[in-house]
Amino acid sequence: MISNSKRIMEPEAMESIEEVAAYDKLTLKYLTILHNGFIETVINASPDCGNFLEVGCGTGRISIGIAKYTENISLTGIDLSTNMIKVAKDNAKEEKVDEKICFLCANGNKIPFENNSFDAVFCHNMLHHIKNPLPVLNEMARVVKKNGSFTVRDLIRKSKLIAWMHVNFFGLTYNKLMKEEYKNSILAAFSKKEWAEIVKKINIDNLFLTSQFITHHGIERSAKNKRNNNINIPLTSFIKKILKDKYVS
């Protein structure tokens, strides 16, 4: 559903240690299914070896998941928040993948790597924190190799009423703080119409708009040399069906 209401921005970086801890708890408890769907999409759209970059990695759960399900891949995760990066490093150690991932504090608006450095570049649930996402998307386009994969996914903005309904349905078991954060993220996100306009302005070829269920939309491009052997992360078949990418253009 397209929202006519304007975006209500959230703070850009998630900086306080309480917020970071709460977010990590939320990802582990409730977002694994969402994360697994995205992890599977990134892995299957990308080569089976090389260097991957995550922009806005938060507490690192997506890069950690990719490291666990693959071999021969080196990952870098960047985030504006020093506390997110600190927790991401601890999480990678705890999950025993710290040798495969380098987490560092950096701004997606100015990615500290050379042109054409990465075989896969991806970004999940981060763009709704940013007023103008184009500099970040164009930085991602700059650092991905010419034939590399490009995968972005984020929430779809809804009206206040629909956001409230989503939060109380999909976030039924969330606590008060989590519900508030979820609602604020939906209201800060881009509408489908805005998303379609953004994709036209990214300096990279062969992008597709995608949608996942009624909650998320994405921007995707598979690598020319993507892996032959697709990986399959266990999810219930129902969840898998609704999370499956639907190409909309």
Ligand X SMILES: C[S@@+](CC[C@H](N)C(=O)[O-])C[C@H]1O[C@@H](n2cnc3c(N)ncnc32)[C@H](O)[C@@H]1O
Query: Is the separation of the CB atoms in 72 and 48 below 8 Å?
Result: yes
CB of 61 to ligand X, least distance (A): 6
DSSP state for residue 11 in the 8-state scheme = P
Nearest Cα residue to 69 out of 26, 112, 100:
100
Q: Which of 65, 73, 121, 124 binds ligand X (CB under 6 A)?
A: 124
Cα 16 from chain centroid?
20
3-state helix, strand, coil in the chain (%, to 5): 40, 20, 35
Nearest residue (CB) to ligand X, 82 versus 116? 82
Contact (CB, 8 A) for 206 and 221: yes
Of residues 102 and 147, the one with the C-beta less far from ligand X: 102
Site for ligand X contains 125 (CB under 6 A): yes
Judged by CB under 6 A, which stretch of 120-128, 143-151, 199-207, 224-232 contacts ligand X? Answer: 120-128
What's the closest the beta carbon of residue 133 comes to ligand X, in angstroms? Answer: 9
Is residue 108 close enough to count as binding ligand X by CB under 6 A? Answer: yes
Using CB positions, name the residue nearest to ligand X.
Answer: 58
d(CA 34, CA 17): 23
Nearer to ligand X, 37 or 108 (CB): 108
- 109 binds ligand X per the rule CB under 6 A: yes
Closest among 214, 147, 155, 217 to 8, alpha carbons compared: 155
The Cα 108–Cα 2 span in angstroms is 27
Residue from 32, 107, 138, 147 binding ligand X (CB under 6 A): 107
Q: What is the footprint of ligand X within residues 32-61 (CB under 6 A)?
A: 55-58, 61
Which residues are near ligand X by CB under 6 A? 12-14, 27, 55-58, 61-62, 78-81, 84, 107-109, 124-126, 129-130
